[in-house]
Each structure stands twice: as C-alpha cells, then as structure tokens.
Chains A and B, each alone.
Chain A
C-alpha cells in the first residue's frame, strides 16, 4: 500500500536556526497538508497546498514558516528561525484531490526538538 514518508524522523536544532522538514506524499496525490502536534495532544492545522500554492493557512503559520514543492515528489516545511515553542511533532498528509470525501493519508511524523 502506498504511504507518505517523512524525513528526518527526529530533528534537534538550536533556537534561531532554520530547519527544513521533508515529506514525500503519495505519488498521485495533489493536495497536501502540514499539521503539528505538541506533546501528543491535539492536531493543529498549519497549511494546505495545492497546485504549487498555499490554499489555506492557520494563524500559527506566520512569516517564519514556508512550504514548497521543489520537485515532483518532495513537499517541504521550512521554519526560518526556530523558537522553543516550535518543539512538536510535525505531520504531513495528502489526499488525491481537493474535492470529494477523501481520507487523509498521514506520514509518520518528524519530531522537532528546539533547544
């Protein structure tokens, strides 16, 4: 069964550093999402992405965050200058298309630790 992959599984960085989290969505999927989860609690929407553009974003997704699909497979989340409160699990998800009752396929997550 196809799956979403994410790298790295764990990233440790110092406050103020830039990090890039990588995701490879399922190959024929067109709509992509990033979420974060702090301490195994609620899943917070960050951003959705379609056709090489941000479709929607939350209040969390400020100027420190950016997303990109640099090639036909990778989907990245960049945090320009990390803060302690950015420490969380970050999940990528994808669906085949925007419309329709599609369930999201989630990657295993990247645990980001900011020290």
Chain B
C-alpha cells in the first residue's frame, strides 16, 4: 500500500537553530512530493514541491527540502527557525500515474522556542 510517514509527532527547536522535519514515503515510481503548513484554525498552505532535477528545492518563508531517492525521503529544513514557524507541517505525495490522489503524512507539530 502507498503511504507517507512522518515519524515525529512533534519537533522542538530553539529559535535561531536549524530545523528538520522528516518525511519518508512508500510510493512506486517517481512521485511528486509536497510540503504544506497549517496554522491554527486555518487551511493547509503550500510551502514547496519536488518534481524533478536538483535534490534541494527552495520554497516559501525560507524553507527548503531535500529529496533523497535512495532513502525515499523528503525532509523539510530551515537554516534558522523563527517562533512564527510554529505550526503543523504535512508532507504529501502524488503518484505520477494511476491516481490523482494526494497521500498525506500524519503531520508533525513544530514548536520553536524563544
């Protein structure tokens, strides 16, 4: 079965420190990969996506993500965390054939401490 795993329910990081939110997937082929952020009582907002090419993709608000094909991972990173980055982060995967469904991870709550 196709799945996306976000192994950490919560990540705590001090403001100014680098952050990583992990995502691995089990989807056949070369899927499209996405990160979304959700602030309290809001919908999901798109951060960035990987389609093909350079393994490091840059997105909104200073976030970037590193794609690793051999490890089927797509970890979200930011060099210097802000308190305002505290939110719920979702990794999502879209297979490139057979379905137009997006498969979401269970979400990771990021808490940036001042």
Seen from chain A, the residues whose Cβ lies within 8 Å of a Cβ on chain B are 4, 31, 33, 35, 40-43, 45, 48, 50, 55-56, 91, 93, 95, 98-99, 101, 103-109
Q: Taking A42-B104, A43-B104, A56-B100 as contacts, is the C-beta distance between A109 and B51 under 8 angstroms?
A: no
Contact A105 B46 (CB under 8 A): yes
> In chain B, what residue has the closest Cβ to A40?
B88
Q: Is residue B94 within 8 Å, beta carbon to beta carbon, of the partner chain?
A: yes
Contact A55 B100 (CB under 8 A): yes
> In chain B, what residue has the closest Cβ to A55?
B100
Q: Taking A43-B90, A43-B107 as contacts, is the C-beta distance between A50 and B45 under 8 angstroms?
A: no
Contact B100 A31 (CB under 8 A): yes
Chain A residues with CB under 8 A of B103: 45
Contact string against A for B residues 8-37, beta-carbon threshold 8 Å, 1 for contact and 0 otherwise = 000000000000000000000000101010
**Whole-angstrom CA separation of A31 from B17 in the bound complex:** 39
Other A-B pairs, 15, CB within 8 Å; known A33-B102, A43-B107: A4-B43, A35-B104, A41-B107, A43-B90, A45-B101, A45-B102, A48-B100, A56-B101, A99-B100, A104-B36, A104-B102, A106-B36, A106-B43, A108-B42, A109-B43
